Amino acid sequence: MFLRLSGFTRLAAVLVVTLAAGTHLHAQDVAHRIPLFQKGAIRVLILSGQNNHDWRTTTPCLRELLLNTGRFDVRVNEEPTGMTAQTLAVYDVVVLDYNGPRWGPTAEAALSSFVRSGKGLVVVHGANWAFSGLVVLGAHHIPTGIVEPAWTEYKNMVGGVWSDRAPASGHAPRHTFVVNIVDPNHPITAGLPSSFTADDELYHNMHMTSGVHVLATAYDDPRFRPPPQKQTSVAAARGWPHLDMNPTGRNEPLLWTVHYGKGRTFYTALGHDVKAEEMPGFSTTFVRGVEWAATGKVKTPAPPLRSWAQPITNVH
């Protein structure tokens, strides 16, 4: 006896077989790639290659901070546009040191699916300008004239982005300030001093989503208001959106976490350049944030607050 299948049924059967084969090959590919990494290390992919900040020095710095802990194995991708789900499959966490044009539907879907499935994302400093609908900035903060529609899902993953809508985002001139831990019980901040010093840009008026969990803030001191001529030059600069560079006189969130699907995101507004990234406060919270995003927990290092610009021996 023979059973005749309709065209739709035959197509469905082919799709099931194809998906099953694809899943098998996908798992096989991951299994083949894992031995290429340091055994037991958290596997990290840094996405870079474009930024209005000096990514050619900050990306290597971020990589070294992670490697010096002895807990991570790190790769760098300077062309995220070609990224696929298969690219990301072997990694535990993605770090964004990227601020540039959108990547296209395949790469963007790959990242959102990666995080939503239970993996980690860490976003550093100006990487939350990217994909927000603002003009794409080139090297040395020069507007390129490229303006693309916002990637809405990115804001949901990151928890807060730059915006020129009131209240407009911005920052006062770079200066030294105190970062205060407001949640000392989170795995990223547990056991750290109640405050630390940063020499950085203090971002304000980030446009936040619901569900953001703030870990640390800093007071945006009105004393650091830029001179009038500086405000005028920024406002008049061709191609720049309308930003507010005046301090708010409020405690602004600088470190936060977001749960996206089954995954975890850590955002740090710190990290303008290598000098800022090598400071103990950034360095410690960054490496701990990457570990938490990847695993949901943090092994407390000793000492609790230090720069990871240089490795230490006997790290466990």
- In whole angstroms, what is the distance from residue 300 CA to residue 316 CA? 10
CA distance 283 to 268: 11
Would you say residue 31 lies in a domain? no
Q: How confident is the model at residue 15, as a pLDDT?
A: 42
Within a domain: 30: no
* 89 CB-near residues (< 8 Å, 6+ apart): 26, 29, 30, 33
- Angle formed by the axes of helices 280-295 and 55-67, nearest 10°: 70
With a cut of 50, say whether residue 169 has pLDDT above it: yes
Q: What is the band of 312 on the pLDDT scale with cuts at 50, 70, 90?
A: confident
Q: Does 303 map to a domain?
A: no
Is residue 47's pLDDT more than 80?
yes
Task: Say yes or no to pLDDT of 237 above 90.
Answer: no
In a domain, 110, yes or no: yes
Q: What is the domain-level CATH number for residue 262?
A: 3.40.50.880
Q: Which residue has the higher pLDDT, 303 or 120?
A: 120
Question: For a pLDDT cut of 70, what percent of the chain falls above it?
Answer: 86
**Beta-carbon-side half-sphere exposure of residue 16 (alpha carbons within 13 Å):** 6
Beta bridge partners, 255, equal 216, 268
In a domain, 3, yes or no: no
Residue 107 lies in a domain: yes
- pTM, two decimals, is 0.89
153: containing domain: 38-295
CB atoms within 10 A of CB 37: 18
Class of residue 71 by CB neighbours under 10 A (exposed 0-12, middle 13-18, buried 19+) = buried
Mean predicted confidence (pLDDT) in 296-304? 82
Distance CA 43, CA 60 (A): 16
Instruction: Decide if 220 is inside a domain.
Output: yes
220: pLDDT strictly greater than 60: yes
Range 129-145 average pLDDT = 93
What's the CA gap between 278 and 165, in Å, rounded? 33
Residue 111 burial (CB < 10 Å; 0-12/13-18/19+)?
A: buried
Mean pLDDT of 229-233: 59
Residue 268 resides in a domain: yes
Mean pLDDT value across residues 283-298: 97
**Number of domains into which the chain is organized:** 1
Do 249 and 265 form a contact (C-beta atoms < 8 A)?
A: no
Residues 6 or more apart in contact with residue 83 via CB below 8 angstroms? 47, 77, 103, 106, 107, 110, 111
pLDDT of residue 16: 47
